[in-house]
Chain A
């Protein structure tokens, strides 16, 4: 499954997590650096739980997580320093403006103030937030909030960017600008992992796709590789996804 010429951005081995019942059960996953990787799966498959464990927000019951070779369980601060996490609900403060929010995030990542201010200006211009830089986030639309949160995720120049359902609730224009931002991040050498229920997004944007179900990786590869495996040549990702996530396929 792992045929990468580039180093690994994320290496997961034997990851396990149970709440009332097992959610992740011995997950192995490799993601090469410099890719946009789409993690797909049915509802309750464990996508968000997996990514929260990678981001350090949930404690695994077992297994290992390495981010660019840094053991996230032994050196969580080292792993967090090179990672950004963007959940579906933006982590914002209503009473802060975008500029103040970015200043706070830069402080958490202990960036050099002059460099952080430059980066903030660049990101606010790039994400078309410059005019609203001093406006409190409390009245922003969902898309605007998502863009502020994205700026916060990018300001500390992470090597790995993890986004959980980044396009939920966005209109077409906002979704386009977020997708463009993600593509640009990958072009700039970053690794981006996204979960999404919008399979067309994964089909068009992702370099590689991983499908999890029943707490395990069911399949991973390029779209063509997944089609080969599912026997759905010439069909859409939706057909492939449904074929690979049927109860029989998961049980196998």
Chain B
């Protein structure tokens, strides 16, 4: 039979020698590998105290953006929901009433906006689809939870802090990514 690759090895079926039969030598060989790792750099980190730095293109939990005056940018156009391959995003649109101009940027806004984090696959299509720069994926991941209920993220959970009332939290949430948002 012709070999497909050079890596195939013939199985050695010779009877074992005495040294191989007492196993001790092979155990020592294995232990040497284990012990040598004690003196090498650790591959793991102590997670809650230490955190890894994410890459700049890391796609974490979604954030709903506000403009400089703190008005919500989302107009409930539904493009994120239709782009979502996991069908995780749902929303209800409402008309902006007189006196709500300081809350919502456009005539129409998302009265309810939900992302089912059990479904979300963090593909970032919602960010791509958004014509209003209203949603983007931040650089933190969604925290774990004991119940399923906690994974239905509502608009209040997703909205970025107010840039005027809470500028520090806003800057932090914006991260490096939101510099141009």
> Is chain B a partner of chain A in the same complex?
no
Give residues in B with beta carbon < 8 Å to A. none
